[in-house]
């Protein structure tokens, strides 16, 4: 019991002392997950729009695949990227294994299906009358699609935030492809996993507290955005 309390107070003083190592880890986490999220959004939004507005062969299969990949186990993604990037792998010549870039790639793959699939759901659940209304007002097909996307905006923002929640909390993929190298590829979740293993609880606890706070912020943002979306719709 005493040791838990002691660890907690040491963790708090670590946070409050703005420990350099600690902040380096936090910043890298935000950088990796943030970049991955931006990439997943840039890739995911057009895909969700395409699936929402165009009819083409295999469309249903792609939607099912995206839904399935939303629950992709991070360790499996990590393993696959590892095999691709390892020195003997097909992309080994890029020398990306154990770099932040490899971690960004892994997290982009994890976030992409979430952003694409949830945005697609948001787009297709827009009332069809919106399409008709913008058509009656003289919109081009492209402008009609934009009007529908605008109606889906709260759902799309929620999709992006859900993607962020997924990658911020994830440890399996980035541990495998990043290697948790101090000062280079160490992020919050991997540090927590490794330091706990070593019995080094203060740093792990400090990072755990911060990770919890970040995840609380993400969920608060999600809550307020969904609330705003619903307020607009309820008469």
Three-state SS letters, the chain: CHHHHHHHHHHHHHHHCCCHHHHHHHHHHHHHHHHHHHHHHHHHHHHHHHHHHCCCCCHHHHHHHHHHHCCCCHHHHHHHHHHHHCCCCCCHHHCCCCCHHHHHHHHHHHHHHHHHHHHHHHHHCCCHHHHHHHHHCCCCHHHHHHHHHHHCHHHHHHHHHHHHHHHHHCCHHHHHHHCCCCCCCCCHHHHHHHHHHCCCHHHHHHHHHHHHHHHHHHHHHHHHHHHHHHHHHCC
- Of 55-63, 136-144, 172-180, 217-225, the window that binds other proteins (rule: CB under 8 A) is 136-144
Neighbour tally for 64: CB within 10 Å: 11
Residue (65 or 137) nearer to other proteins, CB: 137
Q: How many residues bind other proteins (CB under 8 A)?
A: 20
For other proteins, the binding residue among 94, 137, 213, 216 (CB under 8 A) is 137
Residue (88 or 234) nearer to other proteins, CB: 234
Residue (140 or 219) nearer to other proteins, CB: 140
Q: x-or-dash pattern for other proteins, window 37-76, by CB under 8 A?
A: ----------------------------------------
Place of tokens 């095999």: 83
- Of 8-16, 18-26, 64-72, 135-143, the window that binds other proteins (rule: CB under 8 A) is 135-143
| Residue 19 burial by Cβ neighbours in a 10 Å radius (0-12, 13-18, 19+) | middle
Please report how close the Cβ of residue 135 comes to other proteins at its closest, in angstroms.
Answer: 6
Please report how close the Cβ of residue 151 comes to other proteins at its closest, in angstroms.
Answer: 6
* Subset of 148-207 contacting other proteins (CB under 8 A): 150-151
Q: Is 230 in the site for other proteins (CB under 8 A)?
A: no
Q: How far apart are CA 116 and CA 190, in angstroms?
A: 27
For other proteins, the binding residue among 60, 73, 183, 232 (CB under 8 A) is 232
Residue (183 or 232) nearer to other proteins, CB: 232
Q: Is 136 in the site for other proteins (CB under 8 A)?
A: yes
For other proteins, the binding residue among 1, 18, 58, 129 (CB under 8 A) is 129
Q: Is 125 in the site for other proteins (CB under 8 A)?
A: no
Q: In the complex, which residues of this chain contact other proteins (CB under 8 A)?
A: 127, 129-130, 132-140, 143, 147, 150-151, 232-235
């Amino acid at each position: 019991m005493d040791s838990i309390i002691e660890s907690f107070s040491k963790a708090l003083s670590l946070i409050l002392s703005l420990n350099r190592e600690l902040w380096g880890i936090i910043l890298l986490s935000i950088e990796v997950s943030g970049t991955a999220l931006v990439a997943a959004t840039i890739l995911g939004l057009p895909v969700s729009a395409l699936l929402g507005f165009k009819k083409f062969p295999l469309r249903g299969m792609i939607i099912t695949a995206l839904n399935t990949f939303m629950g992709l186990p991070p360790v499996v993604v990590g393993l696959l990227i590892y095999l691709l990037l390892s020195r003997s792998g097909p992309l080994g010549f890029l020398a990306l294994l154990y770099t932040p870039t490899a971690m960004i790639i892994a997290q982009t793959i994890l976030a992409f299906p979430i952003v694409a699939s949830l945005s697609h759901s948001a787009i297709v659940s827009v009332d069809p009358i919106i399409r008709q209304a913008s058509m009656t007002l003289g919109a081009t097909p492209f402008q009609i699609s934009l009007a529908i996307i605008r109606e889906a905006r709260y759902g799309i923002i929620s999709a992006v935030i859900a993607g962020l929640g997924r990658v911020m909390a994830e440890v399996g993929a980035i541990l495998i492809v990043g290697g948790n190298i101090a000062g280079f590829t160490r992020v919050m979740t991997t540090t927590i996993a490794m330091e706990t293993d070593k019995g080094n609880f203060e740093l792990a606890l400090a990072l755990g507290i911060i990770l919890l706070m970040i995840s609380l912020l993400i969920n608060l943002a999600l809550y307020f955005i969904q609330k705003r979306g619903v307020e607009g719709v309820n008469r």
